[in-house]
Structure formats: C-alpha cells, structure tokens
Chains A and B, each alone.
Chain A
C-alpha cells in the first residue's frame, strides 16, 4: 500500500510535468526528470551487504518564481549482519561460541515533494518526505530560506528539518535493560501483534550556511549543522554479551545532540581549466564521539560537453564514551562502560579513506531541441571505493578485514 502511495506521487508529478510542458513556449525549460540508480556493496569479515537504490525525481517550474519537485526513492537491501557482538576476552573463555549473523532483507520506500518560491535574490522552500521500511517509518518536514546579497557575492541559507519517526521493537517483559531480548524479525511490526511495540524518534536538524565569492576564481562556504535526536536509537536486532549468560539487546542513550562545522574552498585554475575543491569538517556529539573529515576534489571540463572529477577523502573518528569491544572484562579500553552498551562498529574508533571519480556528459544544443523534445540531456556516472580500518572493533577477537565498500551511481537527467 505504501509502495503504491509512492508510485501515485510519481505518476501525479509526471502528469503535472507533461501538462506544464504542453502549455509552455517551445524554448522555455519548464520540467526536469532525473532518474538515478545506485549500487552499494561490501563484504567484510562474517558479513555482507548489497543495496540497490533506484530513484525518480521530477521538477517543474510552472512560472519563473515557482518550482515544484516530487520524487520517489527506494532501498532494496539484502545481506547478513552481526546479530550478537562479543570480543576477545569473552571468546577466550568461550572458544566454542562463534559470531552469529542474521540475514537482512528490507525494502525502504520514500516519496516526497518540495515547493520553492523564488525571488530575484531570495528563495523559500518547504518540503515533506514519507518513508517506510519493514521496521521503520518516517515523516519528515523541512524548510529552507536562502538570500543573496552584494551582487550575489554573498549567500546565506537557513534550514530546519523535523522528523517524526517510529521504529519497531520487541515487547520487553523486564524493566531491567540487561534482560532485554533483541528483535528476532520484523514480522508483526506496525500491526496489532502483541509481541511488537513501536518507539518514537524525534529528530530536529538545523543548518546555517554562508557562501562567499572572494575573487572571480575563489569561493568559500562555511556551514554549521546541529541536530537533536530524541528516542530509541539502538539497533533492535543486535545483542551484546555483557557477562556470563548475559546476552542482551543493544542499549544506547535516548538523547543525542550532534553538531558539525564544515568549511569548503573552491579555486579555479585557469591554466588547466579545472577547479580544485577542498572541504574540512569537524564533528562532536554528546556521546563523546569526535571526528574530522578532509576531502579534496579536482574537476575539469573536457570540451563543452564533458566534465570529469576525481575525489579523495580521509575520515577519522573516536569512539562513543560507552563503546567497548568487550563488555565482559579485560584491561582498558575493554571492559564495561556503565549503563549503556553497543555492538555498533560505527560507534567504535576507526579511520577510513575514500577514492572516487565522476563523469558528466551534457548535451545542451544552442538551437532547437534534442529529438525535437528535450531542452537538454545529461548522463552522470560515478564510482567510489572506501576502506575502513577499525582500531578496536573485532568479532570475537577477530579483526575485521576486507572492510571495503563500493558505491556506484548512474543517472539520466532530461530537461523539457
């Protein structure tokens, strides 16, 4: 039913786009259709994950001051993830125990839309997204205000988003979290099943940014992002071994305040007709997780129709204050961490690198239309590989190897 909702939204958008095209002068671009297809794959020790993400986006500009966008996106997920986490100390005393994994099959559908009202130097956007998975539902609202000043040399933007999310969990009969059991499957979620319950998650995100043109070839952008997450944030399927015969559901704090500052610089190199872009980001949150990200990109025009881009990225983070690879004991950094526990490698200290490229081909004839129909056509292909090096995270003491993920996207964009 929810899938049908997304398809209806897309069909309506396409109809609006076609009607708008038919009602416009021949040379005015009034609609843009964008379809993208992304594949994600990784197969580190004991686990694997394959995600296919198709999407369709339709943007219509019925007048110079109004823009309407509607889109649909899905994640088709299959793989295997760790269902019970323990470390080297526990495994040394329980050599017969092996790391268990659970197969994962999920389908996320997201449909949404945006309305933008534009002036000469300002714009205001409001949007809504609805998404559903077997075990997660989300309603998301966002607004964005943008203003240009000083002959477009300065741009300010303010954005705010709020998510009303719900996640499925197993009904726990005990009040003590150390006795909670993990959710076995998503069967019965969001139904009247007496063994299932839902937890709410409220997410408030605020972002402000300032972009500045300094010279005809230098531009910068400074962005501050803050986010408050209030609600159930554990992986309901994951268990953690806390001690002898104590296997319990992952348990992390309900509140998390997060903030990040991102600085970006773009410099055009006239001699080689290409641009260098740099980005630095610092992040911290109330779970004591800190991270730094450095990114560099080089993009160059090859003639009038082709652009190529190379990218390199380095990322390093500390672990959350309650992270431990083995809560059953051992010398620091192993051992218990108070009232919370997690088996999430994303909350452990690690560093990663990423390398990628992007290819863009655009056909935008100065006169007439492509096939008598399209104002312009664009093909974009990109691929990235990222590798993770975990400082502490192990699976029963076994370090995770082959922790590489591959991401590839192709998209077609047609403007009418």
Chain B
C-alpha cells in the first residue's frame, strides 16, 4: 500500500497537473481548505474519537486521555 502511494505521488507530482499561480484564487478560498477551522475540527474529533474504535487522518499532536 505504501509503495502504491509513493508511485502515484511521484507520477502525479511530476507535472501531470499544473495550476498557474494566477489561477489559484479559488484554491486559496477558505471553502476549499480541508481544515479551514482547525480548532472546531479538533474539538469534534476529540469527542468522536472517544466514542469510536478508530483513529487516523487528523494529525499526530495532542496529549492526554480525556476519554470519558
């Protein structure tokens, strides 16, 4: 799986898709950001993660259990 991830990443990042700097206005819009309100996302994830057996995709920082 990691090998496939690396192959796809290398192929895709070698110029197959290019957006010129002057075309990036929409990509920079907050609505296009995956974590535009990180604090709110973290609060919701904290609640959800303590009710589910899963994790992942949301960063590595953080401390403590807080798992009541």
Known: A261-B1, A299-B31. A293 touches B54 (CB 8 A): yes
Please list the residues of chain B having a beta carbon within 8 angstroms of any beta carbon in chain A.
Answer: 1-2, 5, 8-9, 12-13, 15, 17-21, 23-27, 29-34, 36-37, 39-40, 43-44, 46-48, 50-66, 68
Judged by a CB distance under 8 angstroms, whether A258 is at the interface is yes
Name the one of B13, B32, B52, B63 contacting A139, with C-beta atoms under 8 angstroms.
B63
Name the one of A108, A213, A347, A360 contacting B37, with C-beta atoms under 8 angstroms.
A360
B15 CB contacts on chain A under 8 angstroms: 150
Cα distance, A51 to B66, chains bound together (Å): 10
For this complex, 15 residue pairs linking A to B, each with C-beta atoms less than 8 Å apart, are A53-B43, A77-B68, A130-B63, A136-B64, A140-B63, A161-B62, A212-B17, A224-B1, A260-B56, A262-B57, A299-B36, A307-B31, A309-B31, A317-B52, A380-B37
**Cβ-closest 4 pairs across A and B:** A260-B56, A131-B64, A262-B57, A161-B60
Contact flags A24-58 to B (C-beta < 8 A → 1, else 0): 00000000001010101000000001010101010
Q: Which of A88-96, A152-160, A173-181, A190-198 lies at the interface with chain B?
A: A152-160
Q: Are A160 and B56 in contact (CB under 8 A)?
A: no
Closest to A381 in B: B40
Those of A345-363 within 8 Å (CB) of chain B? 346-347, 352, 354, 356, 358, 360
Contact flags A269-281 to B (C-beta < 8 A → 1, else 0): 0100011010101
Q: How far is the CB of A289 from chain B (nearest CB, A)?
A: 5
Closest to A163 in B: B63
Q: How far is the CB of A273 from chain B (nearest CB, A)?
A: 8
Known: A40-B47, A205-B60, A380-B37. A151 touches B53 (CB 8 A): no
Judged by a CB distance under 8 angstroms, whether A227 is at the interface is yes
Judged by a CB distance under 8 angstroms, whether A116 is at the interface is no
A268 CB contacts on chain B under 8 angstroms: 26-27, 29, 31-32
Name the one of B12, B18, B50, B62 contacting A151, with C-beta atoms under 8 angstroms.
B18
Those of A237-272 within 8 Å (CB) of chain B? 258-262, 264, 266, 268, 270
Q: How far is the CB of A74 from chain B (nearest CB, A)?
A: 10
Cα distance, A206 to B59, chains bound together (Å): 9
Known: A53-B43, A212-B12, A411-B40. A405 touches B63 (CB 8 A): no
Q: Are B32 and A223 in contact (CB under 8 A)?
A: no
Q: Are A216 and B24 in contact (CB under 8 A)?
A: yes
Judged by a CB distance under 8 angstroms, whether A225 is at the interface is yes
Cα distance, A38 to B20, chains bound together (Å): 40
Judged by a CB distance under 8 angstroms, whether A340 is at the interface is no
Q: Are B44 and A356 in contact (CB under 8 A)?
A: yes
Q: How far is the CB of B3 from chain A (nearest CB, A)?
A: 12
Q: Are A223 and B60 in contact (CB under 8 A)?
A: no
Cα distance, A38 to B63, chains bound together (Å): 18
Closest to A223 in B: B57
Counting chain A CB atoms within 10 Å of each CB, the highest count among B8, B46, B61 belongs to B61
Q: Are B44 and A214 in contact (CB under 8 A)?
A: no
Q: How far is the CB of B40 from chain A (nearest CB, A)?
A: 5
B9 CB contacts on chain A under 8 angstroms: 156, 210, 222
Closest to B61 in A: A142
* A-B contact sample (14 more), CB < 8 A, given A114-B61, A309-B31, A360-B37: A132-B64, A133-B65, A153-B19, A161-B60, A258-B56, A275-B29, A281-B54, A287-B53, A291-B54, A300-B31, A301-B29, A346-B52, A380-B40, A411-B40
